[in-house]
Structure 1
């Protein structure tokens, strides 16, 4: 084990690094662990929840069941092992160009965040309404931006007329924000969509039909985030959520020569909010059908908002046939709304968007797509003072095989 000090901060690593050496830290000293791995396809920092997180050269869906991580388990000093066990160890990749910014950046955040929302169409308008009503404790101001000035004026006026009587400052204030100021915030919500197949079009996977149209949009704003030096949370709500997260990351980190330079958004800054509604749909079905009842107490949802989704009826008593049946019902639930002649945007905007964002801001477990080995994969995760944590469970072999199949499918999308 090697120990270092830089700018008054104690650091530890398994690797000899070109940093000033230091004695072993004391039990109560704050320590950041430096890993030394290829940085392009992984998070720059994360909460180390298993010793093998510190030796693995890459992350992947194996991190959802730490028993399956293909890396040696290191021997840690007792004080460091205790710190890791209790969620007190942050790992930062020394090879990432932004490693010092990550280590020495200000981690304290304002209690109430400034949120900027791009596009107030069907999803954006519903999301805005939910955040206005639910976000008073976590959000100070919501800035809205749209191509239509009339749309912005309408929603600003409507939202200003929503308040509790005699407690007029309890809810977030909604105000216009100019495109050039979109990244003067703590959270940026991308809800723009260039094209949505109309009801009755016969398109089965509406989300993937939107990829070609929406990718240039998200890439443009990801590059703007890079130029602005944006340090907040970049949330993708537009479909297809998971590939668009990956596109945003790559575009933001492309230098003048088009190659990855690591000077844009960190992978852990980007999260896709599409899984929440899939989880809620599974719960709704479990409340209607006793065959799925175990989902309510021990079920999980994984993967993308669409093709590749994995619903597990239970982790402890996993039934592959029941889980696949439930997955298919959840995956096609939006088609039932379309068959009624409506676009299915209300539940996604609230369950995937507003609810997951508020949980994330509170540091609580939520459903979201995070970077695992260069693809964005929907999991149960949370933000902690020591970095992003993904839930790790003992996953049955049949379930894990489904997750690997989904990972392969997501990686094939370019």
Structure 2
């Protein structure tokens, strides 16, 4: 997906055999222990917690040292397509957005202004034709004087053409609890309503043979990613056949705003200042989030307080009488997409042990790469707890 032009002809393969429901079909290997036979889950983020590394050929060892080793899951029926997915395609990318509500319109504006280097065209689709016409017109009237081709074009796209793109952004929502409602966990209240909608577009992506990125922006992001994968990989008889979207084709864009909210508090309270240089966020966009004040000098009590503040930040906006959608649309949506398309590190949810789990990652010509760290036991235990909770969400 990236514009990286590193010599992919030098990519060396390691054939793995894993449950295709638990791991990406292809990924970049940065530590030989990532090739151990066990289903790693959160342990993929700290290779010290994995099993013994298998024996590698001299050529594979040299490729690993050079950052050119790609593991491919030979048990995945579409493992050859996985290698094609990570191969960079030249030029700017075409992005399609469904739909243009509060989140979608804020996201669209940011992509228009910031995405000229990696986005050629943004196609928008919505149930309301008037809404589409409004945003095509408004976006068409935004340009730099005398440099009229610098910003991406915005155009209408019909439902039948939604997957004729490089990136599909799912921002549709069936129901959002109104400001002032008694619903405490707004995101989980949306799961039952939004899951059938997400699943219908997942099946459409399968039917279209979609080869690009399927990005979930609607809440709850992480469970919806899992639902999208399962729906797209379910055959006519109701069985998993793994012929739909690859796990690594699906990412959830919810962690970016949580990371930004944690930084917001860290800039305002010296107790959390270490987060700005040493901290990380992990897990879902909502309950189960882990905001670590520091990886090297982890303080569990301080991190739990920072996590609480981060989780409740959206409620403070609701207390003011507004829906908290601007920061998520920009920090989780536009910024993370642009980083992803540039092949840079970004915050998003990725397939990890059968669930979608938020962490720092990037797309490379050698596959999806996860940031690996030496995680303190107290922090790792929290990640395992979050992983278990995500598995329990049906």
| TM-score after normalising by structure 2 | 0.96
Q: Distance in 1 between matches of 2:119 and 2:363?
A: 17
**Aligned residue-pair number:** 386
CA change 1:375–1:29 in 2 (3 A) is: closer
What secondary structure does 2:369 align onto? strand
Does 1:228 pair with 2:208? yes
Which protein, 1 or 2, shows the higher relative CO under an 8 Å CA cutoff with sep ≥ 6?
2
Contact 1:143–1:174 at 8 Å: present in 2 too? yes
Q: Return the structure number with greater helix share.
A: 2
Following superposition, the deviation at residue 86 of structure 1 comes to 2.6
Deviations 1:282-335 (A, max 9, x none): 111000000000000000000000000000000111000000000000000000
Alignment of 1:244-263 (within 5 A): 244-263=224-243
Task: Name the structure 2 match of 1:61.
Answer: 42
Task: Name the structure 2 match of 1:76.
Answer: 56
> Among 27, 33, 40, which residue is 1:46 paired with?
27
Deviations 1:199-253 (A, max 9, x none): 0002111000000000001000000000000000000000000000000000000
Does 1:93 pair with 2:73? yes
Q: Distance in 1 between matches of 2:350 and 2:88?
A: 22
Q: Distance in 1 between matches of 2:357 and 2:181?
A: 29
Contact 1:281–1:330 at 8 Å: present in 2 too? yes
Task: Name the structure 1 match of 2:14.
Answer: 33
| Range moving further from structure 2, 232-241 or 86-95 | 86-95
Contact 1:35–1:55 at 8 Å: present in 2 too? no
> Among 95, 113, 136, which residue is 1:156 paired with?
136
Which structure is larger by alpha-carbon Rg, 1 or 2?
1
Task: Name the structure 1 match of 2:285.
Answer: 305
Following superposition, the deviation at residue 82 of structure 1 comes to 2.7
Cα RMSD (Å) of the superposition? 1.2
Q: Distance in 2 between matches of 1:302 and 1:86?
A: 28
Alignment of 1:198-237 (within 5 A): 198-237=178-217
Moved over 6 A (4+): none
Contact 1:112–1:139 at 8 Å: present in 2 too? yes
Following superposition, the deviation at residue 85 of structure 1 comes to 2.6
Q: Distance in 1 between matches of 2:230 and 2:111?
A: 29
Task: Name the structure 1 match of 2:389.
Answer: 409
| Range moving further from structure 2, 48-57 or 120-129 | 48-57
Contact 1:48–1:87 at 8 Å: present in 2 too? yes
**Gap regions ≥5 residues in structure 1:** 1-27
Q: Distance in 2 between matches of 1:127 and 1:354?
A: 6
Q: Distance in 2 between matches of 1:104 and 1:176?
A: 29
Task: Name the structure 2 match of 1:3.
Answer: none
Q: Distance in 2 between matches of 1:104 and 1:225?
A: 17
Task: Name the structure 1 match of 2:125.
Answer: 145
Q: Distance in 2 between matches of 1:385 and 1:196?
A: 38
Deviations 1:169-220 (A, max 9, x none): 0000000000010000000000000000000002111000000000001000
Following superposition, the deviation at residue 39 of structure 1 comes to 1.4
What secondary structure does 1:212 align onto? helix
Q: Distance in 2 between matches of 1:201 and 1:327?
A: 23
> Among 347, 355, 359, which residue is 1:367 paired with?
347
Q: Distance in 1 between matches of 2:303 and 2:118?
A: 35
Contact 1:123–1:345 at 8 Å: present in 2 too? yes
Q: Distance in 2 between matches of 1:251 and 1:320?
A: 38
What secondary structure does 1:332 align onto? helix
Task: Name the structure 2 match of 1:22.
Answer: none
> Among 273, 276, 291, which residue is 2:271 paired with?
291
| TM-score after normalising by structure 1 | 0.91
CA change 1:88–1:280 in 2 (3 A) is: same
Deviations 1:58-111 (A, max 9, x none): 230001100001x22223234322311332011111111112223356813133
Does 1:242 pair with 2:213? no
| Range moving further from structure 2, 396-405 or 96-105 | 96-105
Q: Distance in 1 between matches of 2:305 and 2:193?
A: 31
Q: Distance in 1 between matches of 2:84 and 2:177?
A: 46
Contact 1:32–1:103 at 8 Å: present in 2 too? no
